[in-house]
Structure 1
Amino acid sequence: MNILTEKFNTPYHSAPFNQIKNEDYLPAFKELIKKSEEEINAIISNREDPTFENVIEALAYSGEQLDVVSNIFFNLNSAETSDELQQIAQEVSPILTEYSAKISQNEALFNKVKKVYDEKEKYNLNEEQQMLLNETYKGFVRSGALLNEEDKEKLKKISMDLSLKSLQFGQNVLASTNNYFKHIINKEDLAGIPEAILEQYAEEAKERNFEGWVITLQYPSYIPFMTYAENRELRKEIALANGKKSFDGSEFDNQNLIKELLNLKQQKAELLGYKNYADYVLEERMAKSPTKVIDFLNELLTKAKPYADKEIEELKSLAKADGIEEIQAYDHAYYAEKLRKAKFDLNDEELKPYFPLNQVQDAVFGLAEKLFHLTFEERNDIPKYHEDVKVYEVSEILQQSQNDNVPEANDQKPKAFKALLYVDYFPRKGKRAGAWMTSYKNQYQKNGENSRPHISIVCNFSKPTKDTPSLLTFQEVTTLFHEFGHALHGMLADTQYPTLSGTSVKWDFVELPSQFLENFCYEPEFLKTFARHYQTGEVLPDEKIEKIEQSKNFMEGYQTLRQIGFGLLDMNYHTKVAELENKSVKEFEDEYTKAIQLYPVNPETAMSPSFSHIFQGGYSAGYYSYKWAEVLDADAFQHFKENGIFNPEVAAKYKILLSSGGTKDPMELYKSFRGSEPKVESLLKRAFG
């Protein structure tokens, strides 16, 4: 018996991680693909007239177990991978791509979908059903259903190649990251680095059976070193190593892979009748066109550049006082921290004791209870894929009628199961860098049952040591809130169909819930409820809270330019791929980030070969969406500020936006919540006053 092909005999049918063996995956995928194909064949062979129910709905609910197993496998390949899993991924990806192409390019199936689509006026469809029908039809067309047989085969091969090469890109970045470490014996080389970080470096050395200290390119190790290390030569060396990830001529170099990926995407776009891959992607985004995206980014660039230039001038003055005539990119974090301390008398290490991970998590859980009536209870009987992972049962407090005059404590009120939430906070060699939210199972309704989602948050925070709990920098606090915002989008989902549920929305809308939640971290009223010293219990003093608020926009010009740079580079890669025939990746990157460069460009480094968001993840021709969504989140939070940040009526409207998933046009959803379209002025006001 293969555990992955059976109904899981676990609480809430959660993933049975403790029973899954690596050798289960490949046979399970093959069996479940066969089962899903039988479901599709049943739709095709049905002799009744095609209807919304027997074609569109049947298709939406097909392949349920295959989706669950795919989620388990690929989530683990990101969070807890191994050489064996990576090898399986190389075998599984083309099989899944071929299966997907078989469905999307099946002429008989498409003809049934098209018949329902062409006759949609005769069905009395509600808004969500109309959206499902439109998205299903478009999905087929955008997957090549209207192509001839020869072109369908070409598209299938392109899709397979893209799947494998993007997987390889990520594996190369992970290997390149893990391959580097700096072993330090002389403590003088670590001058300026706080004791808690030194302890972390010593633990890393101990794990590798070394004396002294070890710095790696994992962010909880790399960022503090670049921020506090006084040794400029070492900062340069380690920054150079970071900037050369998958850009070093080794077996893990991604430069050729980038060109191959971009050429494949261009071929795909042209086959489907688009000028370039960005046109193909943006047809399904709020922004609609590359021109609109580039105009949007350039408008922000014009507004932000003077602020960024002024910020860098301040850093240059500090560096000059240390005898540095020409400040470099590897000096930025160090002098930015010095300037922040001088301006606000505030540094990360000073704040970290007030933000132990458990308190920050309690705070974000408490916020979800206050705004959306959710509760979180740890479950120790639900299988986990690593001992660091925790699992929470998420419930919704059922609201009592207004006639009930005896309010109960929340823990005594009736509740309904809402979701499972997995949290995985600490770095490991098998986990890719960064932070993300994902799902193991989507929410949907079928046969009168509301099947609830299983959601996961994955981060890379500093591990606790034997003497100290995991303490977060303030930026890591906002990271946790960010990912939890995504998680809320998944957990509050309440739609009919799995393909429209949770974060299944337009990509430039998906960052609204995450970036929106970060705003609460800067609100004194809220900060005081959880920022307490882990040893003394002292609440973070008012003057420090005030400084956090004042420092909210510290280096905002620089950060804005950095994000704009990523967005412009992404958009140019996906509109001007032909230029790469005569240019190196490095030359292309330098040219299209020239407008945002604030420091001399190092000829030995390039960020594109480790730009996983666009070459491995789902942000191809979509990186701009972070800034796009900032306009939305700034405007949305302004609405809360105007009415009270915990206002129940505003929160109830926002909850509708979150629970609606992709059932409505995102701008319509936003206007229903806010009463008007978002204004870019809200972002500019928040960022630059």
Structure 2
Amino acid sequence: MTVQPPQPAPKWDHTAEQILSITKDGIAAHKAAMDAIAGLDAAAANFESVFLALAKADTLFETTAEPLSFYQNVSTVKELRDAANEAESLTRNYGVEDSMRLDVFHAKAAAEKNIKASGKWDSLSAEEKRLVEKLVLDGTRAGLALPDDKRTKLTELKKELSQVCLEFSKNFNEENGVISFTEEELDGLPSDVISGYTKRVVDGKDLYDVTYKTPDIFPVFKYAKNPTTRQRAQEGHESRLEINVPLLDKAIAIRRQIASLLGYKTYADYITEVKMIKNGDNVSKFLDKLEQKLRPVGEKDRETLLALKKEEHGVAGLPFDGEFYIWDYRYYDRKFVEKTLDLDDAVVKEYFPVSVVVPTILSIYQDLLSVRFEEVTDGSTWHPEVQMFSVWQKGSTDASGFIGYCYLDLYPRASKYSHAAVWPLLPGFDKEDGTRHFPLAAMVANLAKPTPEKPALMRHDDVVTFFHEMGHVFHGLLSRTKFARFHGTSVARDFVEAPSQMLENWCWEPKVLEKMSSHYQTQKPLPAELIEKLIKSRYVNVGLFNLRQIFFAKFDIKVHTDSEENANLTALWNDLREATSLVKAGKPCPGQGTFGHITGGYEAGYYGYLYSLVFAADMYATVFKADPLDPARGKRYQEKILAFGGAREELDSLRDFLGREPDEEAFIKEIFGAIGEAKASL
């Protein structure tokens, strides 16, 4: 008999009116709870009346608002997307107001004072103490120690910033531009890719419309033989969100004012205060050090690819100016891999049909982390293609083994979020009656759809991305914190990627690659020699790849540490890319308008992807490398990293997991040592 989950899944049948009315009711309920806390006499302010009450109100509001705002990323109905966008706008505006409530801050301060004066501080659990400390810190970082006039100004600035960022994101999701090419201009692209494009006849000539979505545009970057085609595609892709340029200028200017009001030297210092790295200067030092180590590798990569370009242009009779452009990078990177490793991305893709890879990855995670997925075929979802699962502890036979829910929304469609990401739609936490509120996570991706000739196939890059994002899903599902505030990926932003980055290593392990591959025609797994070539390809041209990541991080940290107003960010974007990434940009395009991270929560934080790689490499090399599929190691990971979420300092979780202080040795060996091995074997 099928066991029913102890918590029903939510319904995804809201109307636009309901999205707004429920959001408004949620705001009203939260405000009433804050009014009650603010109205307490100082003597009545304690852990239960203030901090538990705050946690309860915040959690209720989060579990109400988060699923409703999600519609803007996935719904096919414009009215629902618009309503969700408006609801998030209301939520953000209210959040700014709520964060600036001096009366609530006074209640927190009184409660903290009373708890410590009464001797009750020592009786609180470590997570309860952390809740108190974080809630008080929220108030000081919100500027509640400022004079009235400065607080009022800060509130106005935060609301304005919220709207600017929301508009930037909306433009990102609503972007639906295309660039058109003739079949001759698309020479070199696989036929199954071209057949997936929309074909039009203009003046008796066939034109293929290529959208700027990843599955459409990236094959042009990688396969189009004509450099002018690649250049047009690159410049179109870089310029597709020019509408966002003034919005980013405005956001940077507002952030500079906010930092000044709060007494921080830079906005980066304000942002990094609550992260592992602690200040903006440390970010710049980290990036400079990494760039210094990677630059010689990147320069060698560039020389190698430039020689390949010169050779090909000579054979094809194309002019060669001795430059290596941004639209050359993906094309010659692929050509180099194919030439030196005889590794054809299109051939590898044939071994990764979506219908095999997705369930196999789920199976790997289930075995490693001792859980099981049960598909819910009659559940409510926001689109017919979405898969829904209930998740259980492996071996459980009753409702006590329930873990939470997971949704997979894997294929592109109009107006859907265009990349891969995970939304922790509902957190896990302990309810007042002692029972558990269970989490819900949604993974959104844009995998290629089937064509008339072939089933849906995944590039190996897609497989790595899927494995990475499922790591975030399980961080959310297997976290066991008391409070929603600390649940799952609610960790320091410069650690949040480390667990998922660590899990990417599985996609480069021979036995895992064999397990998850099955040729769409023969059903045979990847042969050993192809696996060996694929693994060797991991570090080919990794110098240029990581210098590109450093460019993004440097642009991000520079605009948030510079005091210069009215800077030309388009010039900075292009100049910094040429200086750091070692590729020429051609005409200066407003690429910063496509930099979604900088308004989406990663401002002054993009360095975190590289920073967390240090921890990811250490965790994998120390614990998992010897036996990546060992459930005992998976249990250790679950209990010491995932379970705690943000309920304790991330360094404490790392020490507990590793059995020592984390260090850079594994990172240096894995990244830089493997570069040498890869180069030596080619």
Relative to the length of structure 1, the TM-score reads 0.90
Q: Report the alpha carbon displacement of residue 434 of structure 1 after superposing the two structures with TM.
A: 1.5
In the TM superposition, what are the counterparts of 1:56-71 in structure 2 within 5 Å?
Answer: 56-71=51-66
- 2:353 is matched with which residue? 356
Q: Does the CA contact (< 8 Å) of 2:5 and 2:399 recur in 1? A: no
Instruction: Note the residue ranges of structure 1 that are not aligned, 5 or more in a row.
Output: 1-8, 248-252, 400-411
Q: Which amino acid letter does the alignment assign opposite residue 499 of structure 1?
A: R
Aligned length: 653
In the TM superposition, what are the counterparts of 1:628-647 in structure 2 within 5 Å?
Answer: 628-641=611-624, 643-647=626-630
Q: d(CA) in 1 for partners of 2:335 and 2:224?
A: 11
- 2:518 is matched with which residue? 532
- 2:677 is matched with which residue? none
Q: Which amino acid letter does the alignment assign opposite residue 391 of structure 1?
A: M
In the TM superposition, what are the counterparts of 1:410-429 in structure 2 within 5 Å?
Answer: 416-429=401-414
Q: Does the CA contact (< 8 Å) of 1:397 and 1:414 recur in 2? A: no
In the TM superposition, what are the counterparts of 1:599-638 in structure 2 within 5 Å?
Answer: 599-615=583-599, 617-638=600-621
Task: Establish whether residue 143 from structure 1 lines up as the match of residue 129 from structure 2.
Answer: no
SS of structure 1 residue aligned to 2:660: coil
Q: Which amino acid letter does the alignment assign opposite residue 110 of structure 2?
A: K
Q: Report the alpha carbon displacement of residue 126 of structure 1 after superposing the two structures with TM.
A: 1.0
- 2:30 is matched with which residue? 36
Cα deviations across residues 377-408 of structure 1 (Å, max 9, x unaligned)? 11122211112211111111258xxxxxxxxx
Q: d(CA) in 2 for partners of 1:355 and 1:372?
A: 23
Q: Does the CA contact (< 8 Å) of 2:369 and 2:638 recur in 1? A: yes
Cα deviations across residues 565-596 of structure 1 (Å, max 9, x unaligned)? 111110001011x3242x31112223444531
Q: d(CA) in 1 for partners of 2:471 and 2:332?
A: 31
Q: d(CA) in 2 for partners of 1:372 and 1:603?
A: 49
Q: Report the alpha carbon displacement of residue 478 of structure 1 after superposing the two structures with TM.
A: 0.3
Give the fraction of aligned pairs with identical amino acids, expressed as a percent: 29
Q: Does the CA contact (< 8 Å) of 1:398 and 1:413 recur in 2? A: no
Q: Which amino acid letter does the alignment assign opposite residue 421 of structure 2?
A: W
Task: Establish whether residue 688 from structure 1 lines up as the match of residue 672 from structure 2.
Answer: yes
SS of structure 2 residue aligned to 1:529: helix
In the TM superposition, what are the counterparts of 1:245-324 in structure 2 within 5 Å?
Answer: 245-247=240-242, 253-323=243-313, 324=320
- 1:6 is matched with which residue? none
SS of structure 2 residue aligned to 1:257: helix
Q: d(CA) in 2 for partners of 1:441 and 1:86?
A: 19
Q: Report the alpha carbon displacement of residue 641 of structure 1 after superposing the two structures with TM.
A: 4.3
SS of structure 1 residue aligned to 2:455: coil
Task: Establish whether residue 574 from structure 1 lines up as the match of residue 560 from structure 2.
Answer: yes
- 2:196 is matched with which residue? 200
- 1:130 is matched with which residue? 129
SS of structure 1 residue aligned to 2:240: coil
Cα deviations across residues 180-210 of structure 1 (Å, max 9, x unaligned)? 332x4x43332211122122225x769xxx9
Q: Report the alpha carbon displacement of residue 11 of structure 1 after superposing the two structures with TM.
A: 8.5
- 2:90 is matched with which residue? 95
Q: Which amino acid letter does the alignment assign opposite residue 353 of structure 1?
A: E
Measured at CA, do residues 90 and 393 of structure 1 come closer, stay the same or move farther in structure 2, by a change above 3 Å?
Answer: closer
Moved more, 225-234 or 322-331: 322-331
- 2:317 is matched with which residue? none
- 2:415 is matched with which residue? 430
- 2:99 is matched with which residue? 104
In the TM superposition, what are the counterparts of 1:64-79 in structure 2 within 5 Å?
Answer: 64-79=59-74
Task: Establish whether residue 664 from structure 1 lines up as the match of residue 648 from structure 2.
Answer: yes
Q: Which amino acid letter does the alignment assign opposite residue 184 of structure 2?
A: E
Q: Does the CA contact (< 8 Å) of 1:580 and 1:588 recur in 2? A: no
Cα deviations across residues 58-85 of structure 1 (Å, max 9, x unaligned)? 1111144432342123222123366535
Q: Which amino acid letter does the alignment assign opposite residue 516 of structure 1?
A: M
Measured at CA, do residues 468 and 12 of structure 1 come closer, stay the same or move farther in structure 2, by a change above 3 Å?
Answer: farther
Relative to the length of structure 2, the TM-score reads 0.91
Q: Does the CA contact (< 8 Å) of 1:94 and 1:160 recur in 2? A: no
Q: Report the alpha carbon displacement of residue 358 of structure 1 after superposing the two structures with TM.
A: 2.5
Q: Which amino acid letter does the alignment assign opposite residue 442 of structure 2?
A: S
- 1:165 is matched with which residue? 164
Cα deviations across residues 401-446 of structure 1 (Å, max 9, x unaligned)? xxxxxxxxxxx79971111111111112211321111121111011
SS of structure 2 residue aligned to 1:392: strand
Measured at CA, do residues 189 and 605 of structure 1 come closer, stay the same or move farther in structure 2, by a change above 3 Å?
Answer: same
Moved more, 679-688 or 125-134: 679-688
Q: Does the CA contact (< 8 Å) of 2:361 and 2:516 recur in 1? A: no
SS of structure 2 residue aligned to 1:688: helix
Task: Establish whether residue 465 from structure 1 lines up as the match of residue 451 from structure 2.
Answer: yes
Measured at CA, do residues 556 and 205 of structure 1 come closer, stay the same or move farther in structure 2, by a change above 3 Å?
Answer: farther
Cα RMSD for the two superposed structures: 2.3
Q: d(CA) in 1 for partners of 2:88 and 2:631?
A: 45
Q: d(CA) in 1 for partners of 2:363 and 2:643?
A: 19
Q: Does the CA contact (< 8 Å) of 1:396 and 1:418 recur in 2? A: yes
Measured at CA, do residues 187 and 90 of structure 1 come closer, stay the same or move farther in structure 2, by a change above 3 Å?
Answer: closer
- 1:191 is matched with which residue? 187
In the TM superposition, what are the counterparts of 1:171-250 in structure 2 within 5 Å?
Answer: 171-175=170-174, 177-182=175-180, 184=181, 186-202=182-198, 213-247=208-242
Q: d(CA) in 1 for partners of 2:248 and 2:649?
A: 33
Q: Does the CA contact (< 8 Å) of 1:640 and 1:647 recur in 2? A: no
Q: Does the CA contact (< 8 Å) of 1:232 and 1:331 recur in 2? A: yes
- 2:376 is matched with which residue? 379
SS of structure 1 residue aligned to 2:7: helix
Measured at CA, do residues 36 and 598 of structure 1 come closer, stay the same or move farther in structure 2, by a change above 3 Å?
Answer: same
